[in-house]
Each structure stands twice: as C-alpha cells, then as structure tokens.
Amino acid sequence: MQLQFLGATREVTGSCFLIEVGGRRLLVDCGMYQGGRKGEARNAEPFPFAPGEIDAVVLTHAHIDHGGRLPQLVQRGFRGPIYTHSAGKELARILLKDAAFLAIKDAELQNRKRARRHLPPVEPLYVLADVEQTLKQMHGLPYAQEREILPGVRLRLQDAGHILGASILELWLREGELERKLVFSGDLGHRGSLISPDPTAVPDADLGGMEATYGDRDHRSWESTWAELEEIFTIGSQLRGNILIPAFAVGRTQQLLYVLAQKYQAWHLERWLLALDSPMAIATTKLYARYAALLMPEGEALTEADFSPPGLLLSQTPQQSMRLNRIDSGALIIAGSGMCTGGRILHHFKHNIWRRNCQVVMVGYQAEGSLGHALISGAREIRLWGERIKVAATIHTVGGLSAHADQSGLHHWYGQFRGRPPVALVHGEEHSISAFAARLAGEARVVFQPAFGDTLDLADLTGC
Ligand SMILES: [Zn+2]
C-alpha cells in the first residue's frame, strides 16, 4: 500500500497522486501545469505511469490544475470511472471544453510557425471528442456519502468550500489486515467567504495530504478587502479611466459579482459600465445560480440575481468584446484569464495598460512565469503579440478575495484532526510549503514535503 506524489510537489499546479492498494491503482487528480511556456510544456509529456493500468480516478474539483489532463489520460488508454461531485462534473464540462479549445488554438498557432520552418505539425494536447469521452466516464457523487469505488477502497466527499463542487476526499484503504485512512484536502476554501461554506472539518486520518498554496501568509480580512476595492473604484472615478479585473472564471468571478451586486449603491457603481467579458464566466455563473443551495452555509437560496449587479453587460461574442476595447473611460471590465496567460483580458491590456488612468486589479493567485506574475512584480513593459507595450496603469493586488485558505485557515483546518496525524504538504511553492511546515512543527507528528516521484509506504508512513 503506497502513495506516490506525481505533481503539485513544491509547486501549485499539476496535481496528481497515485495510490496503490491491493494491486489496484487509484489516481487522485490529473491536473495540468500552468504558468509559463516552460512549465506548461510538461503537459505534453508522457504520464509517469501507464494510463491503461489505472483502475479509477477521484477528482477533487474541476479547476484545470487538478483535472485538466483527464482527457489526455482517456486519450492514452484510461477506461475506468472518474468520481467527483455532481456539481463539479458540470463545471468540469465547461472547463475541459475550454481547455480543449485553447489546446486546439495553441496547436494551430504553433503549426503556422512550424510550417514556415519546414517542421512537421504538432497535435493539440486533446480535442473535444476526448473531453466528451472523459465526461462519459465521470460519475457525479453527493457530499457526505460513503461508497466503495474499488475493492478495498471506500470514498466520501466533503465540501471543501473552495469552488462549486470542490471536495475534500476521505479515502479508506484496506489491504489484507492493513487499514489506512487518507484525507486529501484538495484546495481548501477561504473561511468567511460570502458564497461558499467554510471547509468541512474531518476529525480523523492516518495521513493528511494538504494544500499549502498560501502556507506562508494570511489574507487581509474581508472587511479591509471591501474597503480596498471601494477605494480603487473611488480613485477610478477620479482618474476617469477604465478598471480591468483579470478574473478566474470559476469562483472568483461569482464572488466579485456577488459583492458588486451587494455594494452597488454604497460604492456608487452606477457610475461604471460593468461588463463580464467571458463566455465561460457567464456559463459558470449560471451554474452557480443553479446549485445555489450548496453555496450558503444555511442553505439560504441564492439566485442568478445575486450574481447580477444592475446593468451588468454580459459580453458573449468577440464583437461585443471589441466594442469594450473602444471605450477609454468608465468601464469596469471583468475578463479572463485570471493569470493573464491568454483570453480577452490581453486585448483589454493592449488598449488600456499603457494609460496612466487605468487600474488593473489582480484578485487571485499569479503563478511564477505568468504575465500576471510579471505585472504584480512591477514589470514596466509587456509583450503582446510581438508588440512591446508600456505599463503605466496602476496594478493592485487584492489578495483577500482568494478562494484559497490562508495560513491561519490551513492551520485551523489541520487543528480539527484528532491525534495530530502526519501530513504531506503539496500545492504550494517551496517557500509556502516550508513556511507552513514550520507553523506545523511541534504539532503534526511528521510533516512531509514530498518532491516529484517520492513514494510513501503507507504501512509504516515512511519514504519521503
Ligand atoms: Zn482550485
């Protein structure tokens, strides 16, 4: 019985863990690497196992860095079931189709360049047919119900409060006399969020696999985050420029829309043309409204109106998006992608980021190597489609909107385990993982900081 770490080790993206129990092979997550060409090139490499020999997959949530390589796994021979929360399955449909679309576009772009150098064409990572097949193999489960997914393996999902359908996994493994309970946090939510319950406490585990994306710091309080946003909007009105918010289509956008609707009058948002310029975020927001009962701790019903501040323009077509490009004042535009690695936000940058009266508001994690990371690190110039563009806009980082637990939130969640079980820290850059390991020192019996390929023997919990 063993657990091998095959992604998101000492980095945030590429989540992938292989469990071997009683001759069966179970994969937890199968995520893409994100942030920068070099890192992302790893997505095209072979898996470090034979996809056809995997018996089942459990997906913690639909984010691409957790499930983005599933269609490749299927394309390369995986035929087993994929278990995830029912709402997460709906979200995966949106996100994986978008990923296929991006992969096809990326291959086309590369092939145009390769043709000019007489190089053979490359295939996209995967296409829509692979996504369709993946969705056929996906089984939606509810929270809080235990079920046997393989001989000797039982699974229960608990709400992680991160995005719609995000799950903490409780896995009970049995091999002969040996029994072990593993708990994977997946991505844990940010306590006190307006549109997600707090991460569910899990009282017992023999080993915890925990994310540590923000293991090195605490977010601002929600109150000061609202004050920060209000100030940006006030300054924006004085500057008479545009405000650009590169937004993650899932979760962050809905949180923002919810706040803009709530604070519409208090923040005088009638002064702005509010635009959601992302078909994927629009589709996701509809899904959030449909699963509203899951979102609030007391099951208070949210509706689509809660995510729709008055006058919100839903920009679906490229033509609508281009019309927004022509506005030079008074527009507040939410557009993907969140780390500015592609999508419509780049066009808005081209038309605005060189203006002194423009403000860019970063509301989520920016992986090293991404354009978003360059901007928050103070880049004075960026390159878009071969063109050099000055950065004169003010770049704000509003970290408090994060959908991830901060260091105190992670610590609080770990503290709910009885008996201080050993824990393996993943989904975090090296400095975050070591900072959180230091916070847990003296509390957890053992803190593993696995490297890629490390294997833990689950009988005696040694190896990393
Ligand atoms: Zn996530």
Q: Which domains can be identified in the chain, with CATH numbers?
A: 2-217+403-457 (3.60.15.10), 222-401 (3.40.50.10890)
**pLDDT at residue 290 in the model:** 87
Q: What percent of the chain has pLDDT over 90?
A: 84
Report the sign of the C-alpha dihedral through residues 86, 90, 96, 97, in that order: positive
- Taking 60 as the threshold, does the pLDDT of residue 6 lie above it? yes
CA 62–ligand 1 middle distance (angstroms): 7
What does the pLDDT look like over 30-85, one tens digit per residue? 999 987 677 788 999 999 999 999 999 999 999 999 999 999 999 999 999 999 99
Cα of 199 from ligand 1 centre, angstroms: 13
Question: How many angstroms does the Cα of residue 211 sit away from the middle of ligand 1?
Answer: 10
Determine the distance separating the centroid of ligand 1 and the alpha carbon of 213, expressed in angstroms: 10
- Ligand 1 centroid–CA 114 distance in Å is 34
List, for residues 443-464, the tens digit of each pLDDT value: 988 999 999 999 999 998 877 7
What token pair was written down for 455?
A: 């294997």
Average the pLDDT over 198-217 and give the result: 96
CA of 90 to the centre of ligand 1 (A): 15
CA of 184 to the centre of ligand 1 (A): 13
Centroid of ligand 1 to alpha carbon of 324 (angstroms): 29
* Centroid of ligand 1 to alpha carbon of 404 (angstroms): 8
pLDDT reported for residue 445: 87
Tokens 């079980």 locate to 421
The closest of 302, 297, 346 to 322, measured between CA atoms, is 346
Report which of 25, 31, 63 is spatially closest to residue 284, judged by C-alpha positions.
Answer: 63
pLDDT at 300 over 90: no
% the chain with pLDDT above 70: 98
pLDDT tens, residue by residue, 331-374: 999 998 889 988 899 999 999 999 999 999 999 888 888 899 99
Q: What's the confidence (pLDDT) of residue 39?
A: 78
**C-alpha 161 – ligand 1 centre gap (Å):** 10
What distance in angstroms lies between residue 92's CA and the mean position of ligand 1's atoms?
12
Ligand 1 centroid vs 258 CA: distance in angstroms? 19
Q: How many CA atoms, within 13 angstroms, populate the side-chain half-sphere of residue 222?
A: 11
Q: Looking at the chain, how many residues does it have? A: 464
pLDDT exceeds 90 at position 291: no
Query: Is the pLDDT assigned to residue 299 strictly greater than 60?
Result: no
What pLDDT is attached to residue 341?
Answer: 86
| pLDDT at residue 293 is higher than 90 | no
Q: What is the pLDDT confidence band of residue 297, given thresholds at 50, 70 and 90?
A: low
Compute the average pLDDT of residues 322-330. 94
How far apart (Å, rounded) are the C-alpha atoms in residues 457 and 450?
13
Compute the distance from residue 329 Cα to the ligand 1 centre, in Å: 33
Residue 122 — very low, low, confident or very high, per pLDDT cuts 50/70/90? very high
CA atoms of 291 and 164, how far apart (whole Å):
8
Average pLDDT score over residue span 387-403: 93
Residue 161's pLDDT band (cuts 50, 70, 90):
very high
Distance 178 CA to ligand 1 centre (A): 32
The pLDDT score that the predictor gives to residue 402 is: 86
* Ligand 1 center to 323 CA (angstroms): 32
Residues 21/173, Cβ–Cβ less than 8 Å: yes
How remote is the CA of residue 63 from the centroid of ligand 1, in Å?
A: 5
Among residues 365, 366, 399, 395, the alpha carbon closest in space to that of 379 is found at: 395
Q: How far is the CA of 330 from the centre of ligand 1 (A)?
A: 32
Q: Which residue type is seen at 12?
A: V
CA–centroid distance, residue 85 to ligand 1 (Å): 14
- Cα-to-centroid distance, 349 and ligand 1 (Å): 25
**Ligand 1 center from residue 247 Cα (angstroms):** 14
429 has a pLDDT exceeding 70: yes
